[in-house]
Amino acid sequence: MPWFKEQDTISNTESAKKSNPSRKQPPRQKQLPRRKVVQTLTQIKQLPRQLVSPAINKQPWHRRQLLWLVGVGGSAIALGGIAFSIEQSLPKTAELFTVVREGTLTIKAADGTILQQSGPATREQLKLAEIPKPLIQAFIASEDRRFYRHNGIDYQGIARATVSNLRSANVVEGGSTITQQLARILFLNQERTLWRKLKEIRLAQKIEANLTKEQILERYLNLVYLGEGAYGVADAASVYFSKSVDQLTLPEMALIAGLAPAPSRYSPSVNLAAAQQRRNLVLQRMREDRVLTSETATAAIATSININPSSPKRLEVTAPYFTSYIQKELPKYVAPEVIEAGGLIVETTLNPKWQNAAETAVINTVANNGRWQNFEQAALVAINPRNGEIRALVGGKDFGKNQFNRVTQAQRQPGSTFKGFVYTAAIATGLSPYKSYQDAPFIVEGYEPQNYSREFRGWLTMRDALTSSINTVAVKVMIDVGFDPVIKLAHQMGIKSELRPMYSLALGSSEVNLLELTSAYGTLATQGMHVEPHGIRRILNRSGEVLYTTTPQPKRVLDPGSAAISTWMLQNVVQAGTGRPASLNRPVAGKTGTSDESRDLWFVGYIPQLVAGVWLGNDNNEPTRGNSGTAAATWRQFMMAAVEEMPVEDFPERPNLAGRKGSIKAQPIKPKRVSLVRRSRSRRDFPENNSDFNNNRPRRRYRRSYQQEATVPEPRRRSRRDERPAATRRSSNAPTPTPQTQERLRERLRNLRQSEPQTQQPTSQTNSSQSTAGSYIVPTKD
């Protein structure tokens, strides 16, 4: 210090003066007297006190006491404000029980299994009883040796860690308790600030006050990050050793426990030597804590590290087309800021067993039929029609190569599957399923519908026309019903896409997606009650609070009688028509569909408990060489697995048709121009083996059911008995001609008609044809 240096200088000067009296002395005024130095030091010591209160010694005692009280009180208020600010920034008590990190999203199936996770999520949450005791002891020895003896803050641990780190000249031991680490994991970030540390301390105390030690330990072991994308001990056991926690050995447990302070530094995948050194340190501490014997610890330390790495389970995704659909639906139910904050748990409607069956059916169909029928993609969706829950959804054959969802995003022409809505609307207007229409060539306002087979079958009932998927009859039925009733009913039943009022609408020219088409057919399965399809049951935040719950709201859109008749008609499609490949050992109703040039192959079918739809085709809209029977077979393959444990239910009985009244009003279309095309009849126009045609052949007189055709005068027909002379009439006792004779007579009649000039027609036919662009041929028995 300067004072001692000055004293040494003075002493040396006096000694030199005595030893050498003749030496010239320095001037007296330049020497620094000791008394003056002491006074100066005293003044320096008193300087802070004088600065605080220059006149404190001059104030009375009671004023000095008041000043101290003001200072202490102000300090207390400041500290109280800081404490209040910290307390206000902490989460509410209810949030302390959370077991999910921020920034995560977990999508679960209907049975609780995890379909997909994103963010720092733990794939496998374990109960504390499921975690081996040595693994728990290893974490306590590594991270918080006084865990059971503190209330969240371990002051002795902080002091011990400080001394250890100073001795090692490195950070070898942390002062944060397991409770503090849990608080940081769940509610805080990793910034190194005094404010964050103060919040962490207070939050740890709050957690200790509301949770038991076992609850704290269970949450910590499930959430702690252990490197290589593993969150929690179960994920770490899988990532590093491809094992479950109950299969880990003691050295492996110690290695996992040693990862917590610095996972990237101690990871055996990155630095095997550092990982081994850290593992051995954990084993030594376990021995010091007397949870291991010396022999056991020594043997574990001598064991080499053998890792068997695996990818994190949280990166695995089940039903990717479905989970991507769910993520797109989330903004409809929760705010964007809630989604951004994360920690959400979405409980969905998916049935994992049915989903596997659906994926298998799609893959098998493309693999076995796609190449020779020239289609590359397939899609399938299954819905519970009673509550609208989507139970299975496959949007394509390979999500990894193409994420386009063909169930919800692809807009395709439904083809003949749309006829189900046309005929249902007709039944709802009061028409009978036995009402007859003629399957014959005709042109309405320039549009000429053609049948798939390019053949015509004559007079057919609506039921038979739907069974055989006759296009001309479907257009005539829609003309009788009207555009608006058909479009309105289809929308009410579940179709969301725009439906354009045009004649080709009856044949499925307006594009729809598979989800809405399948949902609309489900309305028939529930006798006219429609429920919107959905894939989400509940959405919860990370505290377990329910943010959204789906409540199905069935709505009556069709009277039960019309729905029952339509189902009865669609059952015949599967039993005797184009949908026969979809037959099951239970009642099934459905409809096939094929768009122009077989670009889209459809089948939508249902039983009372489940409705499913299948689409086959190409993304580039290239024509296929297949037919809708392949789609029906795919539907059957899925349904065989889905109905294994499902009881058999029958559809409602068809109501009595006599005296039925419609529930909706028809709005018939009045075309400006209809052309009835005449075609020469060949043998194939009257197939003798066609049961649908033969059932209607004996009919002599036909009621005009197509409204526009009624404007064409029908030729009057006279009985054959009146046309022949009485002498030549066959008596009632005459024998019936044999089939061979009948066939010869038909052949002669056809030859005569073909050789007959076109102009030789009855006067009535010639006159009637003048009102139309073509000629109308009256069907006869022969």
**Domain co-membership, 379 together with 491:** yes
- Last residue of a domain, which of 264, 282, 315? 315
Mean pLDDT of 143-161: 83
pTM: predicted TM-score of the whole model, two decimal places: 0.75
- Last residue of a domain, which of 282, 315, 348? 315
Nearest one of 297, 228, 237, 303 to 265, comparing CA atoms: 228
Question: Tens of pLDDT along 425-484?
Answer: 999 999 999 999 999 999 999 999 998 888 899 999 999 999 999 999 999 999 999 999
Strands 458-461 and 442-444: unpaired
For residue 537, give the 3-state DSSP assignment.
Answer: strand
Helices 250-257 and 294-301, interaxial angle, to 10°? 80
Helices 213-223 and 133-143, interaxial angle, to 10°? 90
For residue 630, give Cα distances in angstroms to 394, 618, 626, 627, 651.
17, 15, 7, 6, 25
User: The domain containing residue 255 runs over which residues?
Assistant: 124-315
Residue 530 near residue 493, CB atoms below 8 Å:
yes
The whole-number pLDDT of residue 65 equals: 65
**Domain co-membership, 437 together with 541:** yes
- Higher-pLDDT residue of 181 and 392 is 392
The CATH code of the domain that includes 186 is 1.10.3810.10
The whole-number pLDDT of residue 695 equals: 34
Mean pLDDT of 760-775: 33
In sequence order, what DSSP letters do the residues of 232-294 get, joined into one string? SHHHHHHHHHSS-GGG--HHHHHHHHTTSS-HHHH-TTT-HHHHHHHHHHHHHHHHHTTSS-H
**Domain co-membership, 367 together with 248:** no
Would 557 be classed as within a structural domain? yes
DSSP structure class, residue 330: G
* CA 124 centroid distance within chain: 20
**Domain co-membership, 297 together with 403:** no
The whole-number pLDDT of residue 453 equals: 83
Nearest one of 212, 153, 210, 211 to 178, comparing CA atoms: 153
**Domain co-membership, 277 together with 381:** no
Q: Tokens 């390979």 sit at which residue?
A: 398
Q: Percent of the chain scored above 90 by pLDDT?
A: 61
**Distance, CA of 655 to CA of 568 (rounded, Å):** 10
Would 577 be classed as within a structural domain? yes
Would 448 be classed as within a structural domain? yes
Rg (CA), the chain: 45
Catalytic choice (142, 176, 267, 416): 416
The whole-number pLDDT of residue 675 equals: 85
**Domain co-membership, 299 together with 364:** no
The whole-number pLDDT of residue 26 equals: 45
The answer to which of 9-18, 93-102, 279-288, 424-433 has the lowest mean pLDDT is 9-18
Residue 416 falls in the annotated catalytic set: yes
Mean pLDDT of 276-304: 94
- Last residue of a domain, which of 315, 343, 378? 315
The whole-number pLDDT of residue 174 equals: 59
pLDDT band at 251 (very low <50, low <70, confident <90, very high): very high
Question: Tens of pLDDT along 548-598?
Answer: 999 999 999 999 999 999 999 999 999 999 999 999 999 999 999 999 999
**Domain co-membership, 433 together with 302:** no
Q: Percent of the chain scored above 70 by pLDDT?
A: 72
pLDDT band at 243 (very low <50, low <70, confident <90, very high): very high
pLDDT band at 95 (very low <50, low <70, confident <90, very high): confident
The whole-number pLDDT of residue 591 equals: 97
Would 217 be classed as within a structural domain? yes
Would 12 be classed as within a structural domain? no
**Domain co-membership, 288 together with 418:** no
Instruction: Give the count of domains, the chain.
Output: 2
**Distance, CA of 749 to CA of 771 (rounded, Å):** 28
**Domain co-membership, 403 together with 278:** no
pLDDT band at 643 (very low <50, low <70, confident <90, very high): very high
Catalytic choice (124, 143, 359, 389): 143
Question: Tens of pLDDT along 339-369?
Answer: 998 899 999 999 999 999 999 999 999 999 9
Would 409 be classed as within a structural domain? yes
Would 108 be classed as within a structural domain? no
- Higher-pLDDT residue of 209 and 503 is 503
The whole-number pLDDT of residue 162 equals: 72
Residues 6+ apart with CB under 8 A from 606: 385, 521, 522, 524, 525, 588, 589, 590, 612
Query: Which residue type, as a one-letter code, is found at position 252?
Result: E
pLDDT band at 70 (very low <50, low <70, confident <90, very high): low
Strands 529-530 and 555-556: antiparallel
Residues 6+ apart with CB under 8 A from 732: none
pLDDT band at 409 (very low <50, low <70, confident <90, very high): very high
For residue 38, give Cα distances in angstroms to 11, 27, 476.
17, 22, 123
In sequence order, what DSSP letters do the residues of 36-99 get, joined into one string? HHHHHHHHHHHHHHHHH-TTGGGS-HHHHHHHHHHHHHHHHHHHHHHHHHHHHHSPPGGGGG--
Look at residue 708 and tell me whether its pLDDT is greater than 50: no
Torsion sign, CA atoms 79, 83, 84, 85: positive
**Distance, CA of 35 to CA of 32 (rounded, Å):** 9
**Domain co-membership, 545 together with 632:** yes
**Domain co-membership, 392 together with 249:** no
Look at residue 732 and tell me whether its pLDDT is greater than 60: no
* CA 742 centroid distance within chain: 65
The CATH code of the domain that includes 588 is 3.40.710.10
Mean pLDDT of 295-315: 93
Would 350 be classed as within a structural domain? no
Beta-carbon neighbour count of residue 691 at 10 Å? Answer: 10
**Domain co-membership, 428 together with 295:** no
**Distance, CA of 590 to CA of 420 (rounded, Å):** 9
Query: Which residue type, as a one-letter code, is found at position 241?
Result: F
The whole-number pLDDT of residue 608 equals: 97
